[in-house]
Amino acid sequence: MAKQPENLKKKSNWGGKRKNAGRKLGKQNKATKEKLATLKEFKERVRKNADRLFNSQMSLAEGCSFLFCIKTIKKGNTSKRITKKVSDPKIIKAYLDDELDNKKDEYYFISTEKPDNRAIDSMLDRAFGRATQSMELGNKDGEAFTTKVIILPERNEKTKKIS
């Protein structure tokens, strides 16, 4: 067996914990900084449009109603029916107030979309907090089983280490 040189016989300093090595506590890497900047921009954009977003979600939660008009157009011996959604507020108000003149070639009706239950749940959760949810646990044979819960000590905020 060949003899090892003297410098390899000494204990290596390459492994293990070294003083001042690694990222400083509380310092973030580049990807984390970019992620937080994007999240901040997103939250600001949502905050600026919160009223509009709330109104849109409220419309989903309530469901929507539309006024339609069916017009019959006669050309010679044939007739054609055209359905259009009414968007003129004056006509909608007149229909709701029952002030529209009933013409033979026009027919108005209201159609609705059903409310979106997820939008309702989301709005109620935001207003009153999320409802508590429970889950029954047990084995297939119906007997209860035990679980082990380990409570860790609180972290020290200055050092981010478990005390």
What are the tens digits of pLDDT across the range 20-73? 888 888 888 899 999 999 999 998 998 898 888 888 888 888 888 889 988 888
Residue 161's beta-bridge partner residues?
156
CA proximity to 88, closest of 67, 107, 105: 67
Q: State the pTM of this model.
A: 0.42
Tell me the domain boundaries of the chain.
30-127
8 Å CB contact between 112 and 64: yes
